[in-house]
Chains A and B, each alone.
Chain A
Amino acid sequence: MTEYYHSIQFIEESCTGCMACMRICPTSAIRIRRGKAALVSERCIDCGLCLQVCTHKAIVPKTDAFSTLPRFSYKVAIPSSAIYGHFGSEISPICVQEGLIQLGFNEVFDISTALEYYVYSIERWLSENRSLRPVILSVCPTVVRLIQVLFPSLVEHVLPLQPPREFIAMLAKVTISERLGVKPEEISCFFIAPCSAIMISIKQPAEGSRSSLDGTIGIQDIYNHLYSKVFEISKEHTLSEPISPISGLGISFGYVGGLLRILAKERWLAVAGLSNLIRIFQEIESGRLRGVEFIECWSSPLGCCGGSLTVESSYINRSRLIDLSNRFPQRLEIDLDAAKKYYDDKISFLHGKLLPRPLKPLDTNILRAVKKMKKRDEFLKLLPKFNCGLCGCPTCSTFAEEVASGQEDKESCVFFSPNRLRKLINLYNIDFSSLSEDEEEEAF
């Protein structure tokens, strides 16, 4: 069985077993075992909701720490557009690029140029592959994994192109190595990431190839260092030329619907937020969604600007990005011959094939699977179905499934076993004995 890398880490000592993460997980990938949160690896799609909801710092992102940067010799920053809305609407992205250089990056490459190649490739892919609709944007790593795990039959709808962040990292390495006469391996590209999920797309790309990026630094991690630099720069200088070209399209890629807004496409949809995505994928799976050519999909409700590692409020961030995008040329000119060549030589494409990753069935033998399903349904009828979570599963139906498939003991339900309740009282150190009688009356 494949081991899945994940972008989050559980810190057992800090975990109180409060169940907040288990309850919010959209793919039921968290269990509480012996009072601590634990991950069911094959179910996790790295959406980062658990990371955002944990108030005990017991779930942390596995990004590269900003402090490790000096270890790398030649460092390139590739900022997510989501960072540009973090500094007030009067602060230009040009200052942000300059700030990154002052923090120690040797160069900055914006995704705007890569996006032009990307749009060229999307349009060609759509016109050359008309039979499969809708085509699904594959930039958000969580969206790709959601499809692989919960909607495996839709894998072929996923746009097989390299995301702009990967493409620009590749371009950066080629350009710099030619210019400086160094090997591409000596150059390290870091994505300044709005979410933890980017990390999995680097460590374990869904299509099984190798990433051109070398690491990610969360916006959260770099923000405090960058903030003061950016403000100083904006006061002292009036910069007019960006270090790396920026377009309205590039900035708009940081919020849901930005691509559609700039490209003004008909029959394109923008969908964001996991529950909305699940609904629309169900519709595609039964052929219910018709007349839609392309769907821009983001796991976070407002797109990258609301990612799990952003600092600014996602709504403010989005409104600033819209403002900022109007102050730059909407599109950049690119060399069309180069774009054509990248496409024809498959450089614009993912370097591997995306495969489904469906969840384990109840059993691999159909007869046994049917038996277990009946057992599951019968058992579920007996359960209270108000999803108290004390068994360690997020819902009674998950619990029933695990009992039927033999992974859980029905005694884990407090309604079946008073013993379980006693164990939990000990485990969570619950002691009402100090409560005096008066207080007790008040309390109840």
Chain B
Amino acid sequence: MNFRNKKPNKAKLLTLCLLTLSMSLASSVTFANSFVIKNAKVHTATQAGILNNATIVVKDGVITAINPRSYKVTNVIDAQGKDVTPGLIGSMNSLGLIEVNAVSGTRDASEKKADITFDTSKAFNPKSTLLPYARKGGVTSNVVSPMGGESMFRGQSFAVNLSGDFDSVLVSDRAVVIDLGASHEGSRATHIQTLINTLEDAQEKLTDKKAEAEKSDASDSEEKDKKEEKLKRDEIIINELLAGTKTLVAFAERATDLLVLVDIKQRFNLDVVIVGGSDAVLIQKQLVKADIPVIVNPHNNLPTSFDTLNSSLDTATVLIKAGLKVGLYIDDAHKLDQLRYLAGSAVANGVEHEDALEAITANLADIFKLNTGKIAVGKKADIVMWSADPFEISTKVERLWIEGEEASTKSRQDALRDRYTTDTEMPRAYTK
């Protein structure tokens, strides 16, 4: 059996050091992971489009040059014309929070009492078997979404890379995830009201405080600050949403719910992202005007509920043509390797190939403010070299780098396959 991409055990400790050091310090040191990929068909996922026979220079985990006239790096990889893309970005799943769905001891994505403060980033398990499996599909980073509990607020999402290292959580408090729409108990109106009331109350408080501050003169404002009431954790998060430093990521499907989000964005000046968006096609103009990105699963084409009657294979096509920023996602982390096939399906249904690639790389990086997802100078060297067209089922990952470090695509599944396909006279348990 063929064990391509077997990761050499080199520089594991070094990687750990590198990633924990600050960038400025790291860049002053020479590292073994500087390399050049030459002669590649580079899908940049930027306006530069596809660059043929291109050269990418990676130093200290970052892309430092594209097509330079010369370079001093000696570790040169000849891509022989193969397709090279940014590492793919998964999102809105529970990667690293659930190993086996039906085993309660491995489930850390949900919590009955979860609220807006629910932060699962410390529960992320970089050693989950799902990570190497996802790497088979060229996924190098992922936005993990908590599943929450009884509240409409699922909690806060966080971003990770798929290195499997203990320091792979990149960002842990940039977005709040909520559910809007069909409710199994009670009315969807309650969710909408809760959201609007919460934002209104918080904004009122902020406005009052501002007015108070203006009333009092400069001399005693210092004292005021000291006395200022300590905000609760959930209040801080709401204020961050209002300040636009946190994103509101909303699972919502029906047009009426999407319009509530458009309204909220305009009224409170929030950073809003829609996930699901079955009816987004009905309100394209409003979404474009409000500049709200939509993350869809292009395989979801059935009217699974009365909220999703417009689910269609060409939703992504229509939204991209309308000028919206579209991301593609799979909510099942065990199937994260299939993200590229979703992009392929989108292409089969009318999306341009490079637009589909951006929908699983650059667009998600933009939406979640991650410094990856593009082959461009200054971006993290999350790079995949493919045997051919990255979306084709017959294509496989040839090599893959996460922050400039090569990662293996060998997984537990391969070990099992090898065990049961190797000839032996002994019980299989002796084949390791």
A binds B: no
Q: Give the A-binding residues of B (Cβ under 8 A).
A: none
Which of A's residues lie within 8 Å of B, judged by CB? none
